Amino acid sequence: MATDTLSTLLATRDWLMADGATGTNLFNMGLASGEPPELWNVEQPANIRRLYRGAVEAGSDIFLTNTFGGNAARLKLHNAQGRVRELNRVGAELGREIADTAGRKVVVAGSVGPTGEIFQPMGTMTHALAVEIFHEQAEGLKDGGADVLWVETISAPEEYKAAAEAAAMAGMPWCGTMSFDTAGRTMMGVTSAAMAEMVEALANPPLAFGANCGVGASDLMRTVMGFLATGTHRPIIAKGNAGIPKYHDGHIHYDGTPELMAEYAVLARDAGVRIIGGCCGTMPDHLRAMRDALETRPIGPRPTLDDIAAKLGAFSSASDGTGDDAGPKRERRGRRG
C-alpha cells in the first residue's frame, strides 16, 4: 500500500487545497491541440515539472499528475495504447520529485480520466474491460509513486464503480469525482444525491468524493450542496472551472477571475467542503488568490443557494434534479407486461 499522505493530511487539517487546470496550463506552454498531453511526461518532462511546481508554489496541498487520458482506450486514439504503464509511471515519478522537495507534505494524486466509451447495452464498454483498463493505469501510477488515485470527470456510474474496483486491485487509496454538466446532472443523468448514495454502497469506497469541471463555479457549488444535504460524513471534493470559456479574437478565455475563484473557495470551505481546487481555466494566479482567501478570511455561516448565485453568478438550469423539484414526469399510456 502506498503511504497514505492524504488521509494523514485530512486528519490534521480542516481543508486542503488541490490544484487547478492541467490542459489549460500545458496549452499555454505550447502543447498542440490533438496531441496527447501524456506523451509530454517523457518528451517534455521540464514542462510537466513546471506544471506541477506551479500548483505547489501557489499553495496546493494536492496536485494531479498529467495522466488524465493515460488509459489504453484514450491512448489507442494515438496508437500509444502500449505505453500505458510507462506514461503513467513517469507522470507520477515527476510528481514525486516535486512533492518530495516541496518542504511540506504534498500529495501526488494520480489522475485517472474516463475511457470515453459508452457502457453496454447502449455502447460497447463492459465492466470487466473497464476494470482492466483502469487497473493497468493504476499500476503505472503506483509504480511511479503516486500517493492516491484520483478518478475524475466521470459521467457514468458504471465507470465510477469500475474505477473503485481497479483501485482495490492495485491496493491504492482513491478519490473520485464526477462531472455534472447537464441541468445539474452528469451527462448520464446522475444527480448529486444519487452519486452520494452510490459512493456509500461501494465495496471499496473512496477516501473522498465530489465534483469537478462541469459548468462554472456556481453550478459546481450547487452540486456540492447536494452532496452535503445527504448528510454524508465522507470528505467532499470541489474542483470547479474558472468560469465559462469565452471566444475572443480567435482565442478562448475562461471568464473567472482570481477574485471570483477566491470567493468560490471560501464559499466551498464555509459549506463544509474538505478538498477545494479548480479545474479548466484555473491558473497559478487563481490558486494563489484561493489559498490566500482560505487562510485569511474568517469562517462564515454555511452559504445558501442564493448566496452562491449572488457571489458567483446565476445557475445554468432552474433545478439540479434533486429533491421534490425533480421535474415533470410524462403522462404515460398503459405499458405491456
Partner 1 sequence: MADDEEIILSELSDDELVLQMHDDLYDGLKDEIEEGTNILLGRGWTPYDVLTKALVAGMKIVGDDFRDGILFVPEVLLSANAMKSGMFILKPLLAETGAPRMGKMVIGTVKGDIHDIGKNLVAMMMEGAGFEVVDLGINNAVEKYLAALDSEKPDILGMSALLTTTMPYMKVVIDTLKEKGMREDYIVLVGGAPLNEEFGRAIGADAYCRDAAVAVETAKTLVSRKHNQLSA
Residues that bind partner 1 (CB under 8 A): 23-24, 27, 32-35, 74, 77, 116, 118, 121-123, 155-156, 181-185, 187-189, 245-247, 250-252, 254, 280, 317, 319, 321, 327-330, 332-337
Nearer to partner 1, 173 or 226 (CB): 226
Nearer to partner 1, 26 or 275 (CB): 26
In which residue are the cell numbers 443557494 written? 305
Nearer to partner 1, 231 or 250 (CB): 250
CA distances from 266 to 259, 287, 295 (A): 11, 12, 9
The grid coordinates listed for 176 are: 473520485
**In angstroms, what is the minimal distance from the CB of 328 to partner 1?**
7
Nearer to partner 1, 29 or 168 (CB): 29
The grid coordinates listed for 263 are: 470567493
**In angstroms, what is the minimal distance from the CB of 139 to partner 1?**
24
R_g (Cα) of the chain, nearest Å: 19
> How far is residue 235's CA from residue 191's CA, in Å, rounded to a whole number?
18
Query: Is-cis flag, bond preceding 235, omega within 30?
Result: no
Strand partners, 246: 253
**In angstroms, what is the minimal distance from the CB of 178 to partner 1?**
13
Q: From the DSSP assignment, how many helices (H) and strands (E) are in the chain?
A: 13, 12
CA distances from 263 to 25, 46, 159, 242 (A): 22, 32, 32, 11
**In angstroms, what is the minimal distance from the CB of 242 to partner 1?**
12
Alpha helices in 58-126 (DSSP H): 72-75, 84-100
Helix, strand, coil share (%) of the chain residues, nearest 5: 45, 15, 40
Nearer to partner 1, 23 or 205 (CB): 23
**In angstroms, what is the minimal distance from the CB of 122 to partner 1?**
4
**In angstroms, what is the minimal distance from the CB of 307 to partner 1?**
24
**Which residues have a Cβ under 8 Å from the Cβ of 177 and sit 6 or more positions away?**
151, 152, 153, 154, 209, 210, 211, 212, 237, 239
Nearer to partner 1, 184 or 303 (CB): 184
> How far is residue 109's CA from residue 146's CA, in Å, rounded to a whole number?
6
Cα separation of the two ends of the chain: 50
The grid coordinates listed for 84 are: 500505458
Nearer to partner 1, 233 or 333 (CB): 333
**In angstroms, what is the minimal distance from the CB of 304 to partner 1?**
23
Strands (E), 185-231: 185-186, 208-213
**In angstroms, what is the minimal distance from the CB of 296 to partner 1?**
32
Nearer to partner 1, 137 or 155 (CB): 155
